[in-house]
Structure 1
Amino acid sequence: MSTKSGQHGLVLGGGFAGILAAHVLAAHMDSVTVVERDVLPSRPEPRKGVPQARHSHLFMGAGARTADALVPGLLDAWTEAGAQLLAAPSDVAFLTKYGWLPRTAHDEFVLCCSRGLLDWVMRDRVLRNERITVLTETEAVGLTGDARRVTGAELRHRTSGERTVLEADFIVAATGRSSRVDDWLAPLGVPRIPVEVVDAGTAYATRLFRPTPEMHRDTPGIVMIANVTGEATGGVLLPLENGLWTATVIGMRGSEPPTSDEEFQDFAKRLSHPAMAELISAATPQGTARGFRGLLNRRLRFEKLPRHPEGLVVLGDAACTLNPSHAHGLTVAASAVAAMRAHLRRHGAVPAVAGRAQRAVSRSAVTAWQLSVNDDLRHPDVVGPRLSPMVRAQNYYADRVMLAATRQPDVTRALLDVIALAAPVTSLMRPRVLTASFRNAGGSPTDSSADPLFQPRGA
Structure 2
Amino acid sequence: MSTSSAQQETPRERSGRAIVIGGSMAGSLAAAALSRHFAEVTVLDRDAFPEKPDHRKGVPHGHHFHALLAGGREAIDSLLPDFSRRAVEDGAHTLSVTADVRYRQRCGWMPRFPGALEVVMASRPFIEWTVRELAGQIDGIHYRPRTSVLGLRLADGRVTGVSVKDEQSGAESDLDADLVVDASGRNSKASSWLRELGYPSPSETTVNAHWGYSSVFVRVPKGWDPGFRAMYTPPLGEGAPEGGARTRGCAMWVQEGEDRWIFTVQGAAGDYPPRDEAGLRAYVATIGVAEVDAAVAEFEFISPVQVWRDTTNRLRDYANLAMRPENFVLLGDSVAAFNPVYGQGMTMAAISAVTLDRELQNVPSTRPDALAGLAERFQKSLDGSIQFCWSTSTGQDYRVPGVELMVDGQAQPSPAGEAEFSDRLLAFVSRDRETYEKFMETTQLIRSPEWLAGDEVVSAIQADWDELGKLVLR
TM (normalized to structure 2)?
A: 0.88
1:300 equivalent to 2:316? Answer: yes
Size of the aligned set, in residue pairs, is: 445
Q: Which residue of 1 aligns with 2:252?
A: 237
Residues 1:168 and 2:177 aligned together: yes
Q: Does 1:372 align with 2:393?
A: yes
* Equivalent of residue 95 in structure 1, options 104, 108, 113: 104
How far does the alpha carbon of each residue in 1:87-130 deviate from its partner, in whole angstroms, 9 at most, with x for none?
A: 01211011002200010233322321011111111111110123
Retained in 2: the 8 A contact 1:100–1:446?
Answer: no
The answer on 1:396 being equivalent to 2:420 is: yes
Which residue in 2 is equivalent to 1:381?
402
Other-structure match for 1:135: 144
- Alignment of 1:78 with 2:87, yes or no, is yes
2:198 aligned partner: 189
For 1:442, what is the secondary structure of its paired residue?
A: helix
1:313 aligns with 2:313: no
- Quote how far apart the aligned CAs of 1:217 are: 8.0
- Give 2:121's aligned residue: 112
1:428 corresponds to: 452
1:277 aligns with 2:293: yes
Letter of the 1:31 counterpart: E
Matched, 1:207 2:234: no
Shift of the alpha carbon at 1:213?
2.4
Map residues 348-363 of structure 1 onto 2, 5 A cutoff.
348-349=365-366, 350-352=370-372, 353-363=374-384
Paired letter, 2:141: I
Query: How far 1:262 sits from its partner (Å)?
Result: 2.1
Identity of aligned residues (%): 26
What are the superposed Cα offsets for residues 206-242 of structure 1, whole Å, 9 maximum, x if unpaired?
Answer: 1111111221685331011321325222211110011
Range moving further from structure 2, 404-413 or 306-315:
404-413
User: For 1:287, what is the secondary structure of its paired residue?
Assistant: coil
Q: Does 1:220 align with 2:229?
A: yes
The answer to whether the 8 A contact 1:340-1:358 is kept is no
User: What amino acid is aligned across from residue 422 of structure 2 in structure 1?
Assistant: A
CA distance in 1, matches of 2:160, 2:305: 44
1:416 positional shift: 1.7
Contact conserved, 2:106 with 2:423, CA < 8 A, in 1?
Answer: no
Q: Distance in 2 between the 1:6 and 1:419 partners?
A: 38
Q: Using a 3 Å threshold, how does the CA distance of structure 1 residues 216 and 52 change in structure 2: closer, same or farther?
A: farther
Structure 1 residue aligned with 2:3: none
Q: Aligned to 2:137, what secondary structure does the other structure show?
A: coil
User: TM-score when scaled to structure 1?
Assistant: 0.91
Task: Name structure 2 gaps, 5 residues minimum.
Answer: 1-9, 241-245, 406-411
Q: Is the 8 A contact 2:67 2:121 kept in 1?
A: yes
5+ long unaligned stretches in structure 1:
449-459
The one-character-per-residue Cα deviations of 1:277-311 (angstroms, maximum 9, x if unpaired) are 32122122111110101201111111221233111
Q: Deviations over 1:348-388 (max 9, x none)?
A: 43432222112222222111011111221222211104344
Q: Give the match for residue 32 of structure 1.
A: 41
CA distance in 2, matches of 1:195, 1:418: 27
Aligned partner of 1:250 in structure 2 is 266
- 2:304 aligned to 288, 301, 310, which one? 288
Between the aligned partners of 1:205 and 1:97, the Cα distance in structure 2 is 23
The answer for the alignment partner of 2:70 in structure 1 is: 61
Check the 8 A contact 1:411/1:433 in 2, yes or no: no
In structure 2, give the amino acid aligned to 1:420. Answer: Q
The letter of the residue matching 2:223 is: E
